[in-house]
Structure 1
Amino acid sequence: MGIAKVWQDDVIASFKDIGVTTDYIESPDYCLLSVGFGNVVIHCISFENTCRPEDLVSLQEAYQLKGISLVHLWEDIWATRKAQVIGRISSILGLNKRIHARKTKIVPITQKEADDFLNENHLQASAKSKYKFGLNLDDQLIAVGCFSNLRYMKGLKPGYRSAELIRFASLTGFTVIGGFSKLLKHFIQTFNPDDVMSYADRDSSLGKAYEQSGFKLADITPPAEIWLKRDTLVRYFPHRLPVNSDGSLMDDEYIKVYNTGNLKYILYL
């Protein structure tokens, strides 16, 4: 697959194809695109950049104070997850078709069904989980929520159990009103945890969906180092990085990138 030499123009053209205006914002340090009516800004990050993680955090926070959602978009994410990026931005812009969750039916799903749905519709693709549920409408899966097993937490009251919401996604192009809450409520009523925690990726989220559902911001994790394989554009965290037999890294095959960390939310029950 490889890394494209020029890609920002493709971002502009792709949004134009769905009727969304995108304009450059003059900046000496960043490639910024104002999307739609200006309530969303995309920061296009090429691999040839001089940005520090803390610069990107400060940039996002500055726009947040203006009531503007800023999304950090790395070159490889656009190359490998273009449809999901467009879907994410369209959702923030309020362009999705709306379906009310009360019209849907909760169904248990398999890991393969979750994988197929999330790989197609979630910006970060799928992840392994213990419990998986979907929302069906007319025999079509339109939303998926995936949860961890319940874990006993030391240092809290006896028997205190916590679970993690690992993934939630709706069908690209659709917003399921109340869908997040419906799946969350079903999990809570079924397994009775003492809290549910989850992470919002700061590159693309301000955590608004969690706050609207009663979650509280518990922590902000720092930016994380990531290694990108040049030919496949597969991302690896350092502890999962393939290495030579002697433990050394093949420097010519990888590029060092990073994210801006996560917002950790907890729903106390």
Structure 2
Amino acid sequence: MLPVLEVAIGDQVFMKVIPVDLAAWKKAGHKTLLNPLKERLEAIRSEGVPAVVIWEDYWLSRRSVVQSRLAAMLGKSAKIPARLTLVRRIDNATTMGFLEANHLNGGTMSKFRYGLFLPKRYYRVLPTDFAFDASADELLVAVATFSNARIFEQNGSPFRSHELIRFASLLGTNVVGALDKLLNAFIREKSPGDIMTYADLEWSDGRSYKRLGFEERGNMPPREAYVDVTHMRRVRTLEKAGHTAGQLPVEYLTVYNLGSIKYVRDIKINENES
């Protein structure tokens, strides 16, 4: 039986966490634990209890990000109304730096990058013990990145489809309405036909995307990745880790995520014109 940790006060359970130990994963043999892990997660969520899967390597190497996401889910983060922020395009260096510090999977290449900035006059909404540079004129509190367009022909006209690649809020914060505001800025500027994205099953059942007008369009199967067990660093391919394809280096362990749900938001003409 897979272990389950509960976050509770008295008899009320607010969340359940399924930890994945890499030694147990290795002993079980790669994919053996995948189905039981997914079934256990789905069973908990079917009871109406939020549940997440936390891998050992993420806990050891990205603990601050994991703790921030858990705090946001539990309503324990500093709340920042997105209506107080300003949205604008940001450069690649700013984007990568923010995502490396605030997204579980770090940064990745993207074509279009948008940030939400909290002006100094609204720093008063932050808790008095919140650590940040209070002398700065603004604070970057959320980032969303998008792919270049894939262009198809639809009804005799070009149809532009983009992917929402990354979204992250500043550690310790919950920027209420952030993704909606960032999406709307992108829609106004680029006029996409649709926007697609993926909900990571280990952390989400996708309901937040549904609230933003996305529709479920199928499931993506588990994907493999490689964990450097010495430094607890995860990479998608061995080539990115500096190894040639083929034989797996001794210090790397093959892992699989639980897959994801594909979501698509069809952009209506009046959205692009608003």
When normalised by structure 2's length, the TM-score is 0.82
**Is 1:71–2:52 an aligned residue pair?**
yes
Selected match of 1:102 from 83, 86, 107: 83
Q: Deviations over 1:126-173 (max 9, x none)?
A: 111111111111211011111111111367753011001111111112
Q: Residue 185 of structure 2 corresponds to which residue in structure 1?
A: 186
Contact 1:98 1:174 in 2 (8 A): yes
**Is 1:35–2:11 an aligned residue pair?**
no
Q: Which stretches in structure 1 are left out of the alignment for 5+ residues?
A: 1-28
**Is 1:55–2:28 an aligned residue pair?**
no
Tell me the distance in 1 between the aligned counterparts of 2:252 and 2:228.
Answer: 4
The Cα of 1:209 is off from its aligned counterpart by 1.7
Assess, with a 3 A threshold, how the Cα gap between structure 1 residues 244 and 136 changes in structure 2: closer, same or farther: closer
The Cα of 1:72 is off from its aligned counterpart by 0.9
Contact 2:226 2:238 in 1 (8 A): no
Contact 1:39 1:67 in 2 (8 A): no
**Is 1:115–2:96 an aligned residue pair?**
yes
Range with bigger deviation, 83-92 or 229-238: 229-238
Contact 2:16 2:51 in 1 (8 A): yes
Count of paired positions: 240
Q: Which stretches in structure 2 are left out of the alignment for 5+ residues?
A: 120-137, 268-274
Tell me, what secondary structure is at the counterpart of 1:206? coil
The Cα of 1:202 is off from its aligned counterpart by 1.1
Q: CA RMSD in A?
A: 1.9
Tell me, what secondary structure is at the counterpart of 1:252? coil
Tell me the distance in 2 between the aligned counterparts of 1:147 and 1:256.
Answer: 29
Q: Residue 70 of structure 2 corresponds to which residue in structure 1?
A: 89
The Cα of 1:70 is off from its aligned counterpart by 1.5
Identity in percent: 33
Contact 1:69 1:206 in 2 (8 A): no
Contact 2:61 2:233 in 1 (8 A): no
The Cα of 1:241 is off from its aligned counterpart by 6.2
Tell me, what secondary structure is at the counterpart of 1:39? strand
Range with bigger deviation, 101-110 or 150-159: 150-159
Q: Deviations over 1:50-104 (max 9, x none)?
A: 3521111111111111111211111111011000000111111111121111111
Tell me, what secondary structure is at the counterpart of 1:129? coil
Within 5 A, what are the aligned runs for 1:223-234? 223-234=222-233
Assess, with a 3 A threshold, how the Cα gap between structure 1 residues 71 and 244 changes in structure 2: closer, same or farther: closer
What is the identity, as a one-letter code, of the residue corresponding to 1:40?
M
Q: Residue 126 of structure 2 corresponds to which residue in structure 1?
A: none
Q: Residue 201 of structure 1 corresponds to which residue in structure 2?
A: 200
Q: Deviations over 1:167-203 (max 9, x none)?
A: 1111112111111101101101111111000111111
Within 5 A, what are the aligned runs for 1:185-264? 185-238=184-237, 240=239, 247-264=245-262
Tell me the distance in 1 between the aligned counterparts of 2:63 and 2:193.
Answer: 38
Range with bigger deviation, 36-45 or 58-67: 36-45
The Cα of 1:236 is off from its aligned counterpart by 3.0
Q: Residue 137 of structure 1 corresponds to which residue in structure 2?
A: 118
Q: Residue 177 of structure 1 corresponds to which residue in structure 2?
A: 176
When normalised by structure 1's length, the TM-score is 0.83
